[in-house]
Amino acid sequence: MEGLMNKLRHLDAYPKVNEDFYSRTLSGGFITLVSSVVMLLLFFSEIRLYLHPVVETKLVVDSSRGETLRINFDVTFPAIACSILSLDAIDISGEQHLDVKHDIVKERLDVNGNVIEVRPDGVGSRKMEKPLQRQGGRLEHNETYCGSCYGAESIDGECCNSCEEVRDAYRKKGWAMSNLDLIEQCKREGFFQKIKDEEGEGCNIYCSLEVKKVAGNFHFAPGKSFDQSNIHVHDLQAFRKNRFNLSHTINRLAFGDHFPGVVNPLDGVQWMQKQPIGMYQYFIKVVPTMYKDENGHTIQSNQFSVTEHFKGAERGLLDNLAGVFFIYDLSPIKVTFAEGHVSFLHFLTNVCAIVGGVFAVSGIIDSCIYHGQKAMEKKMEIGKFN
C-alpha cells in the first residue's frame, strides 16, 4: 500500500516548494493585482455572454409557395391633396388592385404639415336628400334612386349612384372622363368643390397592403387609374392640371412584421421634386427572413435593399406616368436567425481558459521582470568591483 502511495506521489504535476524559499517582489504584487482585475473583467464578460442569447444566421433556399406579402407603409406628400392621390398595386401574375381604398387612411395636411382631418379613403362624400333620377325629376317617398352611368353601363339597367361609381364604370370600360361638370352625381357630391377646398394641402397616407408573394409594384400617382389597350394610365383630365409636385417623405416602409435587429433602409428618406414632370422609382430587393427566438416563437418577415432612380421627361410627355413607384422583386434565398444560449460546458471551458491563460501570461511577465532585475543587479555589482 505504501509503495502504491509513493508511485501516486511521483505523478504529482504540482510539486510544492517550501515557503522558506519563496521570494516576493514589488513587481510581482503589482502584476498579481493587474492580472486579477483582468481575470474579473473577462469573467464577467463571459457571464454576460452566457446569460444573453446569441443569434445564429443561416442561408437556405426559400421553398414557400402560395404565401402573401404584407407591405406596411407611411408616406407623406406635403404638396399634393388627398383627393388627387391614388394607390395602385400590380404584380407579374397579372393581378391588379387599382385605386386601392380598403384599409387606406389619409390625413389631410395644411401647408405647415399639421393634420386637418383623418379619414379612411373614400369616406366623406356629400349627399343630397332628394337626388335627381335618371329619367329626370326628384325622388319621391320610398322611391329607389338609380343614377345614370352615362354610357358606361356593363349591363342594361346598371345604376351609378355616386360620382365614384361613375368614374369606376368609365375605368372598367377603359374610358377617360373628360368633362365631370356634366355628371350629375359629381355635381351633387361637390367633387370639384372638394378638390378646390383641398388645393395647396398635403397628404399623409398609410396602411397595410396585402399582395401575392411575387414580383410587382405599388405606386402613388395623381388621378384615377385605368387600363387602356393593356396600358396602365392615370386620368388627370378631371383635375385640370398638368403638373403635380410629388415631393415626399417615407416615414416607414416595411415588408412584413418587425423583428429584433431589422433595418428598413427607406425609413425617414426624403425626396424633393425639382423637375416639372417625372417618375421617381425605388427598386427593392426583398429577402425573405425568419426569426426564431429562444422560446421557439417564430416571426416570418422580410428584409430589403433598395436603389433609387428618377426618370424625367419634357413637360407633357409623361403626364400619365408621373408618380412614386416602389418596384419590388423577391430573392430566392431565405435568411434564418435563431436565438440560442452558449452551453454550460462551453462557458466552463472559457472560464478555465481565462484563468489559466491570464495566470500563465502574468507568470511569464513576472519571470521576465524578475530575471531582468537580477541581471541588472549582477551587472551593477560587477561594475562596482571593476
3-state secondary structure of 57: strand
Contact 112, 126 (CB under 8 A): no
> Distances in Å between the alpha carbon of 362 and those of 17, 25, 27, 37, 359?
20, 14, 11, 12, 5
First to last CA, the chain: 60
Burial class (CB in 10 A: 0-12, 13-18, 19+), 313: middle
Per-residue confidence (pLDDT) for residue 75, from 0 to 100? 95
- pTM of structure: 0.69
Domain-wise residue ranges, the chain: 23-53+344-382, 60-122+205-339
Q: How confident is the model at residue 294 (pLDDT cuts 50, 70, 90)?
A: confident
Q: How confident is the model at residue 123 (pLDDT cuts 50, 70, 90)?
A: very low
The C-alpha cell 522558506 sits at 20
**Best-predicted range by mean pLDDT among 3-12, 146-155, 219-228, 238-247?**
146-155
CA distance 284 to 301: 15
Q: Residue 250, Cα to own-chain centre: how many angstroms?
A: 10
- Amino acid identity of residue 80, one-letter, is I
Find the mean pLDDT for residues 56-65.
Answer: 88
Bridge partners for 302 per DSSP? 288
Per-residue confidence (pLDDT) for residue 235, from 0 to 100? 61
In eight-state DSSP terms, residue 321 is G
Find the mean pLDDT for residues 213-221.
Answer: 92
* Angle value at C-alpha 378, between 376 and 379, nearest 5 degrees: 65
* Helix spans in 140-208 (H): 163-173, 184-189, 191-197
3-state secondary structure of 255: strand
Q: Please give the sequence-ordered ranges of beta strands (E in DSSP) within the chain, or none if there are none.
A: 54-61, 68-77, 85-91, 96-97, 105-109, 115-120, 202-212, 216-222, 224-228, 231-235, 248-255, 269-271, 278-292, 298-312, 323-330, 333-340
3-state secondary structure of 65: coil
> What's the length of the chain?
386
Question: Does the structure show a pLDDT above 90 at 254?
Answer: yes
Q: Which residues contact 140 (CB under 8 A, 6 or more apart)?
A: none
* Helix spans in the chain (H): 2-10, 26-51, 163-173, 184-189, 191-197, 344-385
Question: Does the structure show a pLDDT above 70 at 14?
Answer: no
* Angle value at C-alpha 302, between 296 and 308, nearest 5 degrees: 160
CA distance 383 to 96: 98
384: cell is 562596482
Per-residue confidence (pLDDT) for residue 267, from 0 to 100? 94
pLDDT in tens, 168-210: 787 777 776 666 667 888 877 777 777 777 788 899 999 888 9
Burial class (CB in 10 A: 0-12, 13-18, 19+), 63: exposed
In eight-state DSSP terms, residue 131 is P
Phi, psi of 202 (to 5 degrees): -115, 180
CA distance 173 to 227: 8
Question: Does the structure show a pLDDT above 50 at 134?
Answer: no
CA distance 57 to 41: 28
The C-alpha cell 387602356 sits at 228
- Parallel/antiparallel/unpaired status of strands 278-292 and 323-330: parallel
